Structure 1
Amino acid sequence: MSLAPKAAVIIVAAGRGLRAGAGGPKQYRTIGGRTVIARAMAPFCNHAEIALVQPVLNPDDSGIFEEAVRGLRHLPPVSGGATRQGSVRAGLEALAADPPDIVLIHDAARAFVTPAVISRAVAAAARTGAAIPVVAVTDTIKHVTTIGDVDATPDRAQLRIAQTPQAFHFETILDAHRRAAREGRDDFTDDAAIAEWAGLTVATFEGDLANMKLTTPEDFAREEARLVAALSDIRTGTGFDVHAFGDGDHLMLCGVRVPYGRGFLAHSDGDVGLHALVDAVLGALADGDIGSHFPPSDPKWKGAASDQFLIHAMERVAARGGRVAHLEVTLICETPKIGPLRETMRARIAEITGLPLSRVAVKATTTERLGFTGRQEGIAATASATIRLPWSE
């Protein structure tokens, strides 16, 4: 029985994406609550047939890249070239020391590639040596002159729209790229064109209409609307937490260090606001509570900062293909006074979760000096979280 080929993917992410409008390189913008590049990479990182994921970046982007793809497995990024062709060659050369059998080359701006397309790419490359995903052209295409007059109507039955990932035997496409570089050819718009120029026959396999390239502001608006519409399972969860005062000189409240004459008696940092929010998010997911994910019996969480608990809950939402629509926390205490800290707390929660400030609310109330909070023995918090998930029974 023959072994499965070792397959790698190069994620081309060195471009600036100027046609996408203001907002920085398009691959680091968010769509559907997740960065474009994370959406493009994740299907490869999680695919059983892909052994290596090689990102190629603009060297100025290394910091934002690591933040954008946090949690995804990949090789150390390499710097791209002045052109897409140069960037691909940089990725190929980075893999050459321990070469795979097959390499897939994928544009980071194609954020909606599916596992099925990836599997078809690997199979097609193993079978043919050079293959690209394509979709049929449904509109009539016109060829025009330099002044805009129609001079031909190609037969659309023989036309296809090329996509990525394009797939090749590794040594074959590496040799083609090296030859093109030696001969000063840097004008190819995709890797299939280099393969054709090098004399290879390029096969095709079934692509996916949803695997479109994000290029213009209109593309982003359309896909954002589509993703939101697909999240039709709207859920709300609630949370509650309480901690008594103990020795100390500060309190952690909603991720903010608040100077105070007492501290919290707690296993972690005792942040009642974030703890309540974590339970609200997990409750909306029907995914247990904070204690089941971070048991107080585990010494690992002794004194732990609670922002990591909230990040974990947000990651659980993302793993289900969902997004958080709104978070609200109410702190119940006589002191400290929350009003002067409210906006700082909102901003900190927004920073932890990656949500816009407009989707985070912090409120405060007292119990009119009744009960343990009224006696200033501790602080309580309630929270709610509204999330959107893809519909499932």
Structure 2
Amino acid sequence: MSIAALIVAAGRGSRAGEGVPKQYRLLQGQPVLARTLAGFLAHPGIGHTLVVIHPDDRGLYEASVRSIAPISAALLPCIDGGETRQDSVRNGLEALSDSDPGLVLVHDAARPFVGPQLIDRAIEAAGRWGAAVPGVPVTDTIKVIGGQSEVVSTPDRASLRAIQTPQAFRFSLLLDAHRKAAGANLHEFTDDGALAEWAGLPVHVFEGESGNIKLTHPADFLDAERRLKSGSMTYITKLGTGFDVHAFGEGDHVWLGGIRVSHDRGVVAHSDGDVILHALTDAILGALADGDIGTHFPPSDPQWRGASSDRFLAHAVNLVRERGGTVDHLDTTLLCEKPRLGPYREAMRQRIAEIAGLRLDQISLKATTTEKLGFTGRGEGIAAQAAATIRLPEKNA
């Protein structure tokens, strides 16, 4: 039976304070949504994952996805949400209906600590009961109060559960329930379990996880940061440098920093000859002590003839992440008389940030001439030197 995960990320998160929506805020340098997605994309039981976003957040979403590169084929193109959470879930379910999954897990983007065992239990519960939600025991005494704040009753907390996500359903049952609610002009269900109950489905509770917290208030983010720091291993900072040069040849443009720049010459190169991206790739590989660009992409291999150099840089960044590491900063200096860097600098910084899945403030790009000295001074070629700082877990360093 195929299984889909539907991640709801269309909310504004106003209770979390000012700034970007909470699902895109950083935890230990990585967006919350990226951490949430990683748990589902890494789970072998999940066939497809779909994220429902706010229409205004597409750029934030794409940046979050780039931070977990390489992007899994299981991640479907995101879709826009609706006015309410319920509308957003229904939009996601309708988008998934063409693939007709047997089961669907609906999860809040702001719960980044979902673990594989919880996903296992959700899948098992959906298959067994058709509609199930995770819950954790309530440890505080709960009071039901009246209009004057007077205590009306004190429920037995042994029978109470605090409900979490992922909530798990047979896909056809949940889609039908959402369509019925929309047909009845009901749009305010904030919980799919409650909507399923309204539709007459028996909903069961399976064991949740106390650590599967939802980030709602500013204090929740502080707690999450402390949790990640206390549970993290020791990291070691590594520095690598890179250098690349290409001679000018026939042509009408050069590639620099992932941007096509008009010029009266081209470069002689096996790939697209982007000296900035080549130097950055070598700098990261140097920090990893993992050879150089020629080791990973031999010029003798015809598949790399004319290749776009963004593939080289993305590969190097992915190697860092595969070792559990983080790229902290990339710095490059372009050495040439022409073309001038100034008009393209910010576009190049933005493109490098996109390729590497980094923030713009982690990318530095400078240029200098060599005062008419050497091959660059004579206009015979172009060069770049780069430095990269990364952090690796001590055991992988």
Normalized against structure 2, the TM-score is what? Answer: 0.79
| Deviations 1:290-323 (CA, angstroms, capped at 9, x unpaired) | 2233332233433334334223323333444432
User: Aligned in 2, Cα 1:346/1:267: closer, same or farther, shift over 3 Å?
Assistant: same
> Distance in 2 between the 1:316 and 1:41 partners?
19
Q: Where do 1:271-310 residues align within 5 Å? A: 271-310=274-313
Question: Is 2:213 aligned against 1:206?
Answer: no
Task: Identify the residue that residue 109 of structure 2 maps to in structure 1.
Answer: 108
Greater Cα shift, 341-350 or 77-86: 341-350
Partner SS, residue 135 of structure 1: strand
Task: Identify the residue that residue 121 of structure 2 maps to in structure 1.
Answer: 120
> Distance in 1 between the 2:7 and 2:178 partners?
16
Task: Identify the residue that residue 232 of structure 1 maps to in structure 2.
Answer: 234
Paired-residue identity, %: 55
User: Aligned in 2, Cα 1:156/1:15: closer, same or farther, shift over 3 Å?
Assistant: same
Partner SS, residue 47 of structure 2: strand
Deviation at 1:190, TM superposition (A): 0.9
Deviation at 1:120, TM superposition (A): 1.3
Partner SS, residue 92 of structure 1: helix
Task: Identify the residue that residue 87 of structure 1 maps to in structure 2.
Answer: 88
User: Aligned in 2, Cα 1:90/1:250: closer, same or farther, shift over 3 Å?
Assistant: closer
Aligned residue pair count: 388
Q: What residue ranges of structure 2 are gaps of 5+ in the alignment?
A: none
> Distance in 2 between the 1:100 and 1:172 partners?
11
> Distance in 2 between the 1:225 and 1:370 partners?
53
Task: Identify the residue that residue 55 of structure 1 maps to in structure 2.
Answer: 51
> Distance in 2 between the 1:307 and 1:161 partners?
46
Question: Is 2:10 aligned against 1:14?
Answer: yes
Contact 1:243–1:265 (CA under 8 A) maintained in structure 2: no
Task: Identify the residue that residue 42 of structure 2 maps to in structure 1.
Answer: 46
Partner SS, residue 315 of structure 2: helix
1:11 alignment partner AA = I
Q: Where do 1:31-42 residues align within 5 Å? A: 31-42=27-38
Task: Identify the residue that residue 325 of structure 1 maps to in structure 2.
Answer: 328
Q: What residue ranges of structure 1 are gaps of 5+ in the alignment?
A: none
Greater Cα shift, 374-383 or 51-60: 374-383
Contact 2:271–2:305 (CA under 8 A) maintained in structure 1: yes
Normalized against structure 1, the TM-score is what? Answer: 0.80
1:132 alignment partner AA = V
1:171 alignment partner AA = S
Deviation at 1:351, TM superposition (A): 5.0
Task: Identify the residue that residue 216 of structure 1 maps to in structure 2.
Answer: 217
Deviation at 1:144, TM superposition (A): 4.2
Deviation at 1:24, TM superposition (A): 4.1
Task: Identify the residue that residue 178 of structure 2 maps to in structure 1.
Answer: 177
Partner SS, residue 69 of structure 1: helix
Deviation at 1:54, TM superposition (A): 3.6
Question: Is 2:318 aligned against 1:315?
Answer: yes
Partner SS, residue 326 of structure 1: strand
Contact 1:234–1:389 (CA under 8 A) maintained in structure 2: yes
Contact 1:368–1:374 (CA under 8 A) maintained in structure 2: yes
Contact 1:239–1:278 (CA under 8 A) maintained in structure 2: no
> Distance in 1 between the 2:321 and 2:143 partners?
43
User: Aligned in 2, Cα 1:16/1:127: closer, same or farther, shift over 3 Å?
Assistant: same
> Distance in 2 between the 1:7 and 1:254 partners?
40
